[in-house]
Amino acid sequence: MSSLQRTMFDKILIANRGEIACRVIRTCRRLGIRTVAVYSDADADAQHVRMADEARHIGGARPQDSYLRGDAILEVAKATGAQAIHPGYGFLSENADFADAVETAGIVFIGPKAASMRKMGSKAGAKQLMQAAGVPVVPGYTGEDQTPELLQREADAIGYPLMIKAAHGGGGKGMRIVRDSGEFLPNLESCQREARNAFGRDRVLLERYVEKPRHIEIQIFGDAHGGVIHLNERECSAQRRYQKVLEESPSQFLTPQLREAMGAAAVQAGHAIDYQNAGTVEFIVGQDGHFYFMEINTRLQVEHPVTEYVTGLDLVEWQLRVAAGERLPKAQHEIAQRGHAIEVRLYAEDPEAGFLPGSGKLTRLRLPAADAHTRIDGGVIEGDTVTIFYDPMIAKLIVWDEDRPRALARLRNALAQCSIDGPKSNVAFLERLIRHPSVVDATIDTGTLDRDLDAFMPKPASEARARDARMAAATALLLVEEAQTRASAAIGGDPGSPWAIADGWRLGHTGHRRLVLDDGSERHTLIAHGTAGDYRFEYADGAVEVHGARLADSLLFARFDGQGRRLRVDADGASGAFARADVHDGERRWRFVRVPAYQPANEQTDAASDRIRAPMPGRIVLIKTQVGDHVEHGQEILVMEAMKMELALKAPCSGIVAEIRVAVGDFVEADTALVVLTP
């Protein structure tokens, strides 16, 4: 056995949380490796804590008080006898000082060496190193002189459009596109401030912005014996504000020749920094097929499951084996590429409110069952809470099939089965995204969503389609109500009583029931006659006959005016007032709540508020006005940081600033009044 090779680990610690911690635990369990979880105050009952063999508390809810405390994590590793630490992604995964501390403590860091991380820790240094190694890079400025005047001159020399990027960072933070020389300095100031807040350093680099680029990354793996190979590509061009929305493999944009060239360049980049373990070389690719190095993510990526699906490999197992000193399990020519895989991320966020992150208890979480074609990587279950302290991801949904059209069909069906209550989610947005022509035709570029976001927002449904959805909801709610009434009668004293039929029957007149369904924007009144799946619904503009209705496994089968339909209808099991029905007709989803027949609708006021309120919990990072200033409607007044993003808060009306109730650095709760205006 080589002196570099160890026996496989008996116990490892996972220095992370959520779905990645759960995902690492699953592989360890399959390999017979015991796991140690760490958790914060907010995560005491989290799924990764419940899944691990052992779990230890490491601090407060904020990341800097827990998951970013390398010293506390190392103490737990020593106390529990963990032989290695898997950092997951985010938090300390790309922290070279932590990797060094782990190795110094005699514990194996399941990732690249600290020296390799440091070479990639600065985007500027990484770009220079790759250029020297012969890897294509985008023209730009990476110098240490950061005076605004020099940066302005360099930007003008590079030409526009131009990208300002934080030299130390990732995750889409500290990045701005500038299209005109006059816009450069304001964008520079904003970018530096965001970089300073997110990464503690405000150095930036400048590079030419490639119009309508594709984002294509190559998964690489290296071992301690000098071997480096690639596992082909993932395309991540569907992005919003540099955050990936959909990832897939293989890319439809690459020719075999371009795939081979990019793979070779990625391996070359890995050799240039003596890379070990899992890493991702990210490239930007122009419409002309020219590709340029962006960065190396020195960790496992969020989107690694798509590579696992098309190669048939377990990348976490590879990480463990390489960290234990083994050689790479396969040679380059043995790497398969079979079928097509797509991943989307289910988030607690509101796309119609600027993708505002959400938090709260998941009162309902229904996801498709996992099988050979569908995979769910999640870190929460129904009843868990999405907290304000961490990324609001609920789960990753990954599908596979023999080719891309069939994989897209799988994904459409899987998303239709998702039902999330509690915080708002992006499920409906994802359904619109994967039906958009730019995704279906594989022509989407990294700027498509930001250029034309309205095309991915909901459009009013036709009246006929909306009416069909209402009738399906009403039918399902009556079927549920009748089933519950029969069940109650069956355990009562007179199960044959006509009162147990639940068809609205009363002495002296034909039975009917009044249903008032609220779809969130309008209330619809229906008069229902009939029972047991045969109904007549009357409404203001007409009537619909329903026959043969059956509801089973959230699928409704019925004939509406003689036309057979099959729709997905998820009724919540309650009957009577405030029962809920989610209807999915194959392309679009609706939610209907049955409200008391004579309850007045809430009156809404269009009057502009005189207060700027916090849309969610967060920290104030900038105040751009002072008491006595005159401000205009829509003017940016404050900037707050919440859930890993900056939010610009604007004046709801024109007026005079009467009060400023916060200071920079303050942490505020949702709905707190921050600024008061006198109109």
H-type alpha helices, 441-502: 448-451, 463-490
Tally the residues of the chain.
679
Eight-state DSSP code of residue 455: G
Across the beta sheet with 140-141, the strand order is: 140-141, 204-208, 162-166, 175-178
Q: Name residues whose C-beta falls within 8 Å of residue 409's C-beta, 6 or more positions apart in sequence.
A: 401
Q: Classify each residue of 315-348 as buried b or exposed e, where b means 16 or more C-beta atoms within 10 Å of its C-beta.
A: bbbbbbbbbbbbbbeeeeeebeeebbbbbbbbbb
For residue 241, list its beta bridge partners: none
Q: Let me know if 42 is exposed, middle or buried by CB neighbors in 10 A (0-12, 13-18, 19+).
A: middle
The Cα 180–Cα 242 span in angstroms is 20
Q: Please say whether the beta carbons of 560 and 553 come within 8 A.
A: no
The Cα 627–Cα 153 span in angstroms is 37
Strands (E), 429-533: 513-518, 523-531
List the structure tokens of 551. Answer: 């509801």
The Cα 523–Cα 78 span in angstroms is 61
Backbone angles phi, psi at 255, to 5 degrees: -85, 165
Eight-state DSSP code of residue 64: G
The sign one gets for the Cα dihedral 166, 168, 172, 174 is: negative
The Cα 94–Cα 87 span in angstroms is 8
Eight-state DSSP code of residue 208: E
442-to-413, 433, 448, 602 alpha-carbon distances in Å: 19, 12, 12, 44
Eight-state DSSP code of residue 180: S
Could you say which of 17, 34, 203, 299 is catalytic?
299
User: Between β-strands 563-571 and 645-650, what pairing exists: parallel, antiparallel or unpaired?
Assistant: unpaired
Write out the DSSP string of 340-386.
Answer: EEEEEEEESEEGGGTSEE--EE-SEEE-PPP-SSEEEEES--TT-EE
Peptide bond into 161 cis (omega under 30): yes
The Cα 135–Cα 469 span in angstroms is 55
The Cα 293–Cα 217 span in angstroms is 9
549-to-93, 364, 570, 586, 599 alpha-carbon distances in Å: 54, 26, 15, 18, 29
List the structure tokens of 533. Answer: 């799946």
> Catalytic site residue 69?
no
Task: Identify the three-state secondary structure at position 196.
Answer: helix
The Cα 613–Cα 260 span in angstroms is 53
The Cα 348–Cα 424 span in angstroms is 6
Q: Please say whether the beta carbons of 261 and 298 come within 8 A.
A: no
Backbone angles phi, psi at 379, to 5 degrees: -125, 5
Count of C-beta atoms within a 10 Å radius of residue 625: 17
Calculate helix-pair angle for 256-272, 123-132, nearest 10 degrees: 110
H-type alpha helices, 200-255: none
Count of C-beta atoms within a 10 Å radius of residue 431: 19
- Residues with a known catalytic role: 299
